[in-house]
Amino acid sequence: MPATIPIIDCDVHPYPDAQRPIEPFIPSAFREAVRLSMDVAPGSGHANPFGVNRRDANCVDPKQVATDHLDRYGIVYAVLLPGGMNIGLTRNIDVGCALASAWNDWLAESWLRADVRYLGSICVNLNDPFKAAAEIRRAGTNPKMVQVLVSGESEHLYGHRCYYPAYEAMAELGLPLAIHPGREGALGSPTPIGRPSGYFEWHCTLPLTFQAHLISMITEGVFEKFPKLKLLLTEGGVAWLAHTIWRMDKNFKALRSTTPWLKRLPSEYVFDHVRLTTQPLEEPADPDHMLQIFDMIRADRTLCFATDYPHWDFDDPTRVFPKKMPDELRRRIFFDNAADLYRLNAK
Amino acid sequence: MPATIPIIDCDVHPYPDAQRPIEPFIPSAFREAVRLSMDVAPGSGHANPFGVNRRDANCVDPKQVATDHLDRYGIVYAVLLPGGMNIGLTRNIDVGCALASAWNDWLAESWLRADVRYLGSICVNLNDPFKAAAEIRRAGTNPKMVQVLVSGESEHLYGHRCYYPAYEAMAELGLPLAIHPGREGALGSPTPIGRPSGYFEWHCTLPLTFQAHLISMITEGVFEKFPKLKLLLTEGGVAWLAHTIWRMDKNFKALRSTTPWLKRLPSEYVFDHVRLTTQPLEEPADPDHMLQIFDMIRADRTLCFATDYPHWDFDDPTRVFPKKMPDELRRRIFFDNAADLYRLNAK
């Protein structure tokens, strides 16, 4: 990798610990409810038996992560995605909303102040889209907050119109919606049919949820309704996008009269509004196949680099891409596409 | 297209009509139950507002279809997939089993005798895997029955061990399992999250169910348990396979200790055991992209041609593939791969 390419890492996961706890940020009225309800946010029933984190990393100390991760790889900006992404699954809607604000205040005070390279994600409870919109407008006043973060598991497909109030706030503030895997299967089944038996199987099916949300948002016309809204699909796989674009475009030709609100080919909305992070990048035996996929999905516009630090399936920036990848494409994926998405050059 | 390439069409849909009704094939004990339960097989709630069939075709008369479809395109064999594919969704399990036998006897008498070019699919109620196994052994004595047909919607992912008795019968008789779209969403939701709002959206999500079934069957080790079993994914899309193979192989490297029954890379099981039919073929703006996908998924082994006659999204064999597709690959997709799968040269 040329030493001259700066890096934006779009997926780094910080955790609270005893030094930087989240409890003080939760309003006292809700603190006991949160403590008692640690077990009511339903789990997916699938967990990596070897643990979610690498054995050598845990991401609880901003200074240590700056040294171990940012300095090591020359990362200019790292976008932080905390566990509050799953807040929309909290059964008690008001507790969920209170927790979302707590995550946002904790992130701002504990991490965003610790190093200029950290950028934040606003956690919201989309299960109350009106309070979510208010929280976006509140937490979004911090210029270091660069996106709104939600989990793949959700009450509805994200093209559902119930989410419009929150999308309106995101479009207004220029904050992309970022979807990240989170407890897929917690509210039902993580596949269209039933429950996978193991973590390996469950993990292979995660991209199904991303495909479903993307098809929903495109066909329901979210990007016609909110022309300034952007979508970032985080950690959901990359290579399936070619298929999804082509299938939507082919069906559009036959069925467009059923979606009169769509003014353009589905793929055009994708290329203008949708970005994907790279990790976990597929690794075909023939690296040329990956470069061909990059061409099909217009990776020079759509892909943003991410490591998923400190998780077990971390992608190492020095090793994950095909060696033959052109330098210009490498630069766009490592830096430019995320800088454009988050308007970092204007900050 | 070279005039010398014979064609096997792997997806043609025959219907009963007044001349060839299905009722006489239903045992009298179940006939009234079936008549009364026309509305208890749950529908998906999504239907093409323009109708499921082309305006110029309905597929109720074997002689007329032979002229209109087989003669017109030079089709040597056409594999018939009747509506009995959805039998596994019937709420009354015994009625479903009786109906499965009725569909099989109707198909044998009304269609398979009408023209030597017709090949049949055995419909089964996998919701009773023991009766399904018995039905496979009964109907499978007809050498013109070449596969066992089930719907994408099902009670469980098809890697679930409850289906083993039926798979044992299929492996014993050398009959592939064919999965075809059918009422996705009838038993729950057709996506991991929720219900699409319209038919266009629903139709774009159908490949999710195929991905889920394939990941389930591979990771649960069905092809280690039944080394002679083959799987045919019918009308579920093609280009997503590259992503799914790569994701399974990458995860296998990290998580294989959780699936000790898998002796080989997931992709190796796919290339040896799994075939896909082509329709509805994705149609990227750049036809070279389709040829690159064909290379990634080893289309020279995995793809079998199908039209989906008489449905609305019928693929015309003279127009659907990129013009630049090599003749040898064209021949394998149009004929050889299906001839190998169904062992037609040995018949």
Read off the pLDDT of residues B118-134 as tens digits, 9 standing for 90 and up.
999 999 999 999 999 99
Whole-number pLDDT of residue B141? 97
On the question of a cis peptide bond just before residue A310, with omega within 30 degrees of 0, the verdict is: yes
Cβ-proximal residues to B45 (8 Å cutoff; 6+ apart), any chain: B185, B195
Residue of A nearest to B158 (CA): A193
Contacts of residue B94, defined as CB under 8 A and 6 or more positions apart, other chains included, come to B30, B128
The larger pLDDT score, comparing residue B39 to residue A269, is at A269
Query: Distance between terminal CA atoms of chain B?
Result: 27
Q: Give mean pLDDT, residues A99-127.
A: 96
Please report the pLDDT score of residue B195 as a whole number: 87
Of B193, B213, B280, which is closest to A157 when you measure between CB atoms?
A: B193
Q: List the single range of A61-70, A282-291, B30-39, B156-165 with lowest mean pLDDT.
A: B30-39
What distance in Å separates the CA atoms of residue B283 and residue B286, rounded to the nearest whole number? Answer: 8
Give chain B's residues under pLDDT 50.
38-42
Asked if B207 is an interface residue toward chain A (Cβ–Cβ < 8 A), one would say yes
Query: CA-CA distance, B308 to B312, in Å (whole number)?
Result: 8
Mean pLDDT of A136-149: 98
Query: What is the average pLDDT across A55-67?
Result: 93
Q: Tell me the average pLDDT across A210-224.
A: 98
Top-confidence residue, B12 or A178: A178
> pLDDT for B239-275, tens place per residue?
999 999 999 999 999 999 889 999 999 999 999 999 9
pLDDT at site B38: 44
Chain A residue at shortest CA distance from B251: A200
A-contacting residues in B 267-306 (Cβ below 8 Å): 280, 282-284, 286, 289, 292-293, 295-296
Give the count of alpha carbons within 13 A of A84, CB side only: 33
Omega before residue B49 within 30° of 0, cis: no
Chain B residue with minimum CA distance to A313: B254
pLDDT of A22: 85
* pLDDT average, residue stretch A205-212: 98
pLDDT grade for A40, boundaries at 50, 70 and 90: very low
Q: Please, which pLDDT band fits residue A56 given cuts at 50, 70 and 90?
A: confident
Report the C-alpha gap between B200 and B24 in whole angstroms.
37
Across A306-318, average pLDDT: 95
CB contact under 8 A, B193 and A154: yes
* pLDDT score, position A198: 84
- Residue to mutate among B126, B238, B246, with most A CBs inside 10 A, is B246
Q: Does B244 touch chain A (CB under 8 A)?
A: yes
> Is a pLDDT exceeding 70 seen at residue A43?
no
For A123, phi and psi rounded to 5 degrees?
-90, 140
Average pLDDT over residues A84-93: 90
Q: Under an 8 A CB cutoff, do A215 and B196 touch? A: yes
B41 vs A347, B45, B103, B311, B333, CA distance in Å?
A: 58, 12, 16, 21, 35
User: What's the pLDDT score for residue A20?
Assistant: 87
Average pLDDT over residues A248-274: 95
| CA–CA gap between residue B94 and residue B102 (Å, rounded) | 12
Q: Which of B185, B239, B296 sits opposite A289 (nearest CB)?
A: B296
Helices (H), chain B: 28-36, 62-65, 72-73, 93-107, 129-139, 164-173, 199-219, 222-225, 240-255, 266-273, 287-296, 299-302, 327-331, 337-341
Place of tokens 């061909």: A292
Choose the closest CB to A212 out of B208, B215, B280. B208
Report d(CA A13, CA A80) in Å as an integer. Answer: 6
pLDDT recorded at residue A38: 44
DSSP assignment, residue B309? B
The string over A275-296, giving b where at least 16 C-beta atoms fall within 10 Å of a residue's C-beta and e elsewhere, is bbbbbbbbbbeeeebbbbbbbb
CB A286 within 8 A of CB A242: no
Q: Is the dihedral of CA A319, A322, A325, A328 positive or negative?
A: negative
Q: What is the ipTM of this complex?
A: 0.88
pLDDT, residue B1, reads: 59
Mutate one of B160, B204, B268 to test the A interface: name it (highest A CB count within 10 A).
B204
How many contacts, defined by CB atoms under 8 Å, are there between A and B? Answer: 220
- Asked if A53 reaches chain B (Cβ–Cβ under 8 Å), the answer is no
The predicted structure's pLDDT at residue A47: 75
- Whether residues B201 and A213 touch (CB distance < 8 A) is answered with no
pLDDT at res. B76? 96
CA distance B229 to chain A (A): 20
Q: Is B193 on the interface with A (CB under 8 A)?
A: yes
